[in-house]
């Protein structure tokens, strides 16, 4: 049953690999070249060999680069958070949906290709993209319960819906906020403040454009930005990433004087 389902998913173009049904961890050992979710494939010969070796393996699925799974876990407050998100961002269209063995739900949506995703959308609501994986039916959960498709929401019955723009904007906002938090630039120098006005624009700034702004700023900072955390670790003075205007009495970065540098009294 599991091997038949795994082959059927592969024929659909879904990337599949075997997972431990007790822990959900990938089963291909590292000593055999296992790379976790990166082992996922649509090759029927490889899948057949895997399930002959691990006949009870849960079916792991690495989402496509243009997919995201909203993983709602009620054990961690996901149901409440999900309702709050819908009240703020709007209802979601009907889409392919899994009922997990742990009582949660996986909602599968289309997103722009290679759209950057934070790990969490809200408390108890995780985001799973191509850099991760989910377990899909009819696999067994560690609790012993089976994963199943919600009524009328299997991939045979339901198209994968496109995630609405307001939800994409929220994801982009969280991504940019995370970038600000872990920024290597000193506090106050990054130009991310303009992103706070995203939803005040008419029409709202597209989520894809927000992510482009963040990426461009990261590139602009260059090597000096990467020196900041290094300086913090060593106790050295971090480099000034942005020049200060001399008319305001602030420090500017002065290029080194030309010619050989003196090594001390001669």
What are the pLDDT tens digits along the chain (266 aa)?
899 999 999 999 999 999 999 999 999 999 999 999 999 999 999 999 999 999 999 999 999 999 999 999 999 999 999 999 999 999 999 999 999 999 999 999 999 998 999 999 999 999 999 999 999 999 999 888 999 999 999 999 999 999 999 999 999 999 887 665 544 444 443 444 344 444 444 445 566 665 665 565 555 545 444 444 444 455 555 444 444 444 444 554 555 555 554 444 44
SS3 15: strand
Find out whether 222 and 239 touch, Cβ atoms under 8 Å. Answer: no
Instruction: Tell whether omega for the bond before 197 is within 30 degrees of 0, i.e. cis.
Output: no
Taking the CB of residue 19, how many other CB atoms lie within 10 A of it? Answer: 24
- Angle at 263 (CA atoms; ends 257, 266), nearest 5 degrees: 115
Cα–Cα distance, 136 to 154 (Å, whole number): 11
Cα–Cα distance, 129 to 132 (Å, whole number): 6
Write down the pLDDT at residue 131. 94
Number of helices (H) and strands (E) in the chain: give both, helices first: 5, 10
Cα–Cα distance, 174 to 118 (Å, whole number): 7
Find out whether 41 and 10 touch, Cβ atoms under 8 Å. Answer: yes
- How far, in whole angstroms, is CA 164 from its chain's centroid? 17
Q: H/E element holding 40?
A: none
212: left (phi over 0), alpha (psi -120 to 50) or beta: alpha
Residue with tokens 């000096």: 224
Find out whether 86 and 164 touch, Cβ atoms under 8 Å. Answer: no
Tell me the pairing of strands 161-162 and 105-110.
Answer: parallel
Cα–Cα distance, 264 to 257 (Å, whole number): 16
Q: H/E element holding 234?
A: helix 207-234
Q: H/E element holding 165?
A: helix 165-181
Find out whether 117 and 68 touch, Cβ atoms under 8 Å. Answer: yes
As given in the structure block, the two tokens for residue 52 are 């002959």
């Amino acid at each position: 049953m599991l091997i038949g389902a795994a082959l059927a998913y592969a024929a659909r173009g879904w990337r599949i690999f075997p997972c431990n049904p007790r822990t959900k961890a990938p089963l291909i050992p590292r000593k055999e070249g296992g790379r976790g979710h990166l082992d996922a494939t649509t090759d029927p010969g490889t899948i057949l060999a895997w399930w002959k070796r691990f006949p009870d393996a849960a079916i792991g699925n690495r989402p496509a680069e243009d997919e995201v799974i909203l993983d709602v876990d009620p054990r961690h407050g996901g149901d409440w958070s999900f309702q709050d998100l819908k009240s703020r961002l709007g209802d979601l269209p009907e889409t392919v949906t899994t009922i997990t063995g742990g009582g949660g739900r996986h909602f599968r949506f289309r997103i722009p290709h290679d759209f950057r995703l934070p790990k969490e959308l809200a408390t108890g609501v995780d985001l799973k993209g191509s850099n991760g994986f989910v377990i899909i039916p009819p696999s067994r959960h560690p609790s012993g319960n089976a994963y199943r498709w919600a009524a009328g929401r299997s991939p045979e019955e339901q198209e994968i819906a496109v995630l609405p723009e307001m939800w994409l904007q929220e994801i982009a906002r969280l991504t940019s906020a995370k970038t600000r938090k872990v920024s290597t630039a000193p506090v106050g120098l990054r130009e991310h403040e303009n992103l706070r006005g995203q939803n005040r624009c008419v029409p709202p700034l597209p989520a894809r454009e927000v992510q482009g702004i963040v990426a461009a700023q990261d590139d602009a900072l260059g090597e000096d930005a990467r020196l900041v955390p290094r300086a913090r670790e060593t106790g050295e003075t971090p480099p000034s990433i942005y020049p200060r205007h001399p008319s305001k009495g602030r420090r500017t970065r002065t290029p080194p004087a030309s010619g050989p540098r003196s090594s001390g009294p001669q």
